[in-house]
Amino acid sequence: MNPSAVDRRIRALRPLKPRVDPQRAHGSLVEEERRPDGSRERALTVFLAGAECPFTCSFCDLWRWTIDGPTPAGALPAQIEEVLRGLDGPLPERIKLYNASNFFDRRAVPPSDLPRIAALTAPCESVTVESHASTVGPATLAFARQIDGKLEVAMGLETIHPVAAAHLNKRLDLARFADAARFLTDHGIDLRVFVLLGAPHVPAQESVAWTVSTVEHAVEHGASVVSIIPVRGGNGEMERLQSLGAFTPPTLRQLEAALDACARFDDCVVTADLWNVDGLSGCSDCRADRVRRMRELNVSGRAGAPVVCATCDRP
């Protein structure tokens, strides 16, 4: 994909990329996840190092964890093997292979590595990979047939706000998302969706409402899991947009409000991404209680009593 003028502008604003070793995963995480049927499972997320995604989204900061050039053959299986060797106890039911790119992009995941990846994940009941909607297709179905477990594909829908979606530089429209979602569900492949909170060009006072509407759109198109991700700064482009008044960083209370509003979906698990929750602005007196409440809601699906704070709830 040849970079556009917008691609070049976004990339020119980025800070220096840290050195990334293609032979080692950035890290891994084991956590408990809730499924739509109410069950819970242990999930291992492996943060893989590989080629950068060709879609230069305005909000993205995952490029920091990618290498220059294509992923070397054999690198991803080596990373996965190293993580699996370091696990304590049995392999979790689900393994999530997040490569900060598109799993079905041959430049990011060499096809020659797929049989080994399938063998390494064989003990897991489910395998989750991430992909742009445009790379979902025959290669997705082929990989689903290679693995022993059930495949789940995580796609970024981000926002259905028409102005914001047009400015994300994601090269995605709702029709393409719908086609990819239909392809997955028609072939018995689960769909996980990423939705943004605080997308640039969405007015701050409308941010929660548009996030909830986007989650609803994902559910209507077959998503079984939706993760609400607060937009992070630090890539240069977000700071440029903020200086122009086109981006307002989301707050802790907005994330809590969006999660609460999505607790009504019975056939879909909606969670808040709390990975960088300390970076969200919020009241210091009730921050810990709100984060604790969201963590519980993520796992249980039950909204506990609202947090009452004498400081930030003051009229």
Residues 223-278 pLDDT 10s: 999 999 999 999 999 999 999 999 999 999 999 999 999 999 988 999 999 988 99
What is the residue extent of each domain of the chain? 5-300
| pLDDT on residue 3 | 85
Lowest-confidence range among 29-38, 42-51, 103-112, 179-188? 29-38
Mean pLDDT of 77-103: 95
Confidence class for position 193, pLDDT limits 50, 70, 90: very high
Residues 195-227 pLDDT 10s: 999 999 999 999 999 999 999 999 999 999 999
SS (H, E, C) the chain: CCCCHHHHHHHHCCCCCCCCCCCCCCEEEEEEEECCCCCEEEEEEEECCEECCCCCCCCCCHHHHEECCCCCCCHHHHHHHHHHHCCCCCCCCEEEEECCCCCCCCCCCCHHHHHHHHHHCCCCCEEEEECCHHHCCHHHHHHHHHCCCEEEEEEEEECCCHHHHHHCCCCCCHHHHHHHHHHHHHCCCEEEEEEEECCCCCCHHHHHHHHHHHHHHHHHCCCCEEEEEECCCCCCHHHHHHHCCCCCCCEHHHHHHHHHHCCCCCCCEEEECCCCHHHCECCCCCHHHHHHHHHHHHHHCCCCCCCCCCCCCCC
Mean pLDDT of 274-284: 93
Q: What percent of the chain clears pLDDT 90, i.e. is strictly above it?
A: 92
CA triple 237-238-240, angle to 5 deg = 65
CATH of 5-300, one of 3.40.50.1100, 3.40.50.300, 3.20.20.70, 3.40.605.10: 3.20.20.70
Q: What percent of the chain clears pLDDT 70, i.e. is strictly above it?
A: 99
Residue 315 pLDDT > 60, yes or no?
no
Reported pTM: 0.96
Mean pLDDT, rounded, of the chain: 95
| pLDDT on residue 8 | 95
| pLDDT on residue 266 | 86
| pLDDT on residue 314 | 65
